[in-house]
Amino acid sequence: MYLKNIEVQGFKSFAQKINFEFHNGITGIVGPNGSGKSNVGDAVRWVLGEQSARSLRGGNMQDVIFSGTETRKPLGYASVAITLDNSDHKLPVDFNEVTVTRRLYRSGESEYKINGSACRLKDINEMFYDTGIGKEGYSIIGQGQIDRILSGKPEERRELFDEAAGIVKFKRRKNTTIKKLEEERQNLVRVTDILSELTRQLEPLEKQSETARVYLSKRETLKELDVNMFLMEYAAAAKELKELEEKNIIAQNQLKDTQSSYDRTKVEYERLEQELEDLNSKMDALRISGQEQAIRKQQLEGQINVLNEQILAGAQNEEHYKGRLQTIEAELSVRTDSKKKLEEEKTDIYAQLKAVRKKLSEEEEKLRTAQENMEACTLEVENGKNEIIEILNSRANVKGKAQRFDAMMEQAEIRKAEISQRILRLKSEEEEQQTILTTARKQYDEITSQIENANEECEHLNLSVMKIQEKLKEQNTKLEAEQTAYHREASRLDSLRNIAERYDGYGNSIRRVMEQKERVPGIQGVVADLIQVNKDYEIAIETALGGSIQNIVTDNEQTAKTMIEFLKKNRYGRATFLPMSSISPRGEFTPKEALKEPGVVGIASELVSVASQYQQITKFLLGRVLVVDNIDHAIAIGKKYRHSLRMVTTEGESLSPG
């Protein structure tokens, strides 16, 4: 097992990547003081796991990262890789060559790798136990190390002897085991304290447990009593509902009887109303007839009075005639001549008297008939009045009965409404109780099902939690790796951005000219900034451009002339300018049939992307360069065309004409 090479980048004074190759024999690094010779040894100690910044001649671990100079920006990380030949398998890994890499970022993150695989510092230390290669081994002896070994304490020298004897690994394992035993002893003490504390809490917890059991038992009893009480109330409500239904049936039957009686009474009442109306009509007719009879009576009484006056006048006339007859008889002797005349007058008067008496008899007969008619009418009126009074009384009785029946109907309706409301209320209560019972049963079933589901879900959740925890560990590990990669790439991006902004890697003259880009608008940029290349062809295009990749493109010759004067005046060196106004392609690529040869990728100018205004520059630099996939095809094409073509391969080989 021997050291093959050391690759250093960004460590202390090594700003650029440097690879130290160690071949057979002895390799020495020679240089003046301060040139960085000791940094090589520090790099080896650091990559093997040195954690002390003082041992690396620094104040803190970030001091090992290149901190920059006046002309170079500081780097974001330091990386050292050491490669050892393990063909004798001295190291406990299944590789003939072992590469150990350590990288530290300025943000503080660090990573260790063995043959490109991430690992721990502990893995590296254990791999180098008993080999003498570790950071504390005797294979690395720095300045003053021999004097420190000779004048050191026996304990310090013993570490070297243990390393040489190959027992460091076992002593480290012993120390680790003793440390773990001490940690377990401390854990045992804590477990004993926890156990004693739990023992003190056991008795109160038992009392609480007993109280909880009693509570649960009484809660179950209360639940049973609640159910029984509900069932009893439900039975009582059902019984009461049944009684009410029976009463409701009786009330409905009574209501039907009352309704039929009411209908009959209503029919009778209507008949009596009709009879009363007929009697009223008759009474009106009799009243009119009575009034007519009264008028007729008054007329007859008037006639009777007239006849009585005539009779009285006749009697007076008769007395008058008697006196006059006596006077005449007395004067008969005197008035013999007028006797005959008086007798004739007397005969006429008797004839008139007879007629008057006859007429008086007729009038008296009429009067008597009228009086009889009046008495009959009066009797009929009295009879009608009595009949009317009887009808009115009957009507009042019928109205009273109707009112009583109406009151009974209203009471029956009110009773019916009350019974209906009560029936509805009881039915609602029954439905509510039934709903409550159904809900309670559903809740009981649901709670039972929920408890079972909860138990199953708890088991599933426990399994899920375990899976999630495992997945979380994997994701945390992945996250750490991604964060490390992110920081690494971010540092790389910062480094590349800094390089691009400051044109690090370009010559001093190029940097000086590009610093004037803001002041001189005619400066377009360097060729490397203006073209875009597919990653597969980067090496080929870089090889084809060669030194032209740092040529500066300007808009015209005047701008190029101005910048040449600027370089001369300040003695900044030389630079090549490509004025766009005077650059023209060198002709088309010939021969065209070469593009069909095996292995030909294409013309270099056609494999890059560039803005339209820079097409002439691209054709000028790459228009006559052929890109081939490998060197064998390139050699074959060169022989076929008598070495008249300039070719580059995708792996970076360049074949020039001739």
pTM for this predicted structure: 0.31
Residue at token pair 């097992």:
1
Q: Mapping DSSP to helix (H, G, I), strand (E, B) and coil, where does residue 1 land?
A: coil
Beta pairing, strands 18-21 & 3-9: antiparallel
What is the structure's pLDDT at 111? Answer: 92
d(CA 415, CA 251): 8
Q: Calculate helix-pair angle for 154-165, 168-330, nearest 10 degrees.
A: 90
CATH 3.40.50.300 location in the chain: 3-166
Q: Mapping DSSP to helix (H, G, I), strand (E, B) and coil, where does residue 524 land?
A: strand
- The token pair at 561 is 């002339």
CA distances from 217 to 86, 205, 324 (A): 75, 18, 151
d(CA 435, CA 441): 10
Please state the separation of Cα 328 from the chain's center in Å. 154
The CATH number corresponding to 506-655 among 1.10.287.610, 3.40.50.300, 1.20.1060.20, 3.40.50.620 equals 1.20.1060.20
CA distances from 239 to 245, 250, 425 (A): 10, 17, 14
What is the structure's pLDDT at 219? Answer: 86
What is the structure's pLDDT at 16? Answer: 86
CATH number belonging to domain 190-315+344-502? 1.10.287.2610
Closest CA to 80 of 112, 103, 114: 103
Long-range (24+ apart) CB contacts under 8 A made by 132-141 are 132/163, 132/164, 133/48, 133/84, 134/48, 134/49, 134/163, 134/168, 135/45, 135/48, 135/49, 135/50, 136/163, 137/163, 138/163, 138/164, 140/41, 140/44, 140/45, 140/48
Does the 3-166 domain belong in CATH 2.40.50.140? no
d(CA 325, CA 337): 15
Show the CA angle centred on residue 436, arms to residues 435 and 440, nearest 5°. 115
Identity of the residue numbered 351: A
What is the structure's pLDDT at 653? Answer: 92
> Burial code of 459-486, b = ≥16 C-beta within 10 A, e = fewer?
eeeeeeeeeeeeeeeeeeeeeeeeebee
What is the structure's pLDDT at 396? Answer: 62
d(CA 255, CA 413): 8
CATH 1.10.287.2610 location in the chain: 190-315+344-502
What is the structure's pLDDT at 406? Answer: 65
CATH 1.20.1060.20 location in the chain: 506-655
Bridge partners (DSSP) of residue 80 are: 8, 102
User: Would you state the torsion angle of the CA atoms of residues 447, 449, 455, 456, taken in this order, to the nearest 10 degrees?
Assistant: -150
What is the structure's pLDDT at 27? Answer: 75
Which parts of the chain register pLDDT below 50? none
What is the structure's pLDDT at 408? Answer: 64
What is the structure's pLDDT at 476? Answer: 74
Q: Are 240 and 426 within 8 A, CB to CB?
A: yes
Identity of the residue numbered 227: V
What is the structure's pLDDT at 99? Answer: 92
What is the structure's pLDDT at 648? Answer: 92
> Residues 6 or more apart from 370 whose CB is under 8 A from it?
296, 297, 300
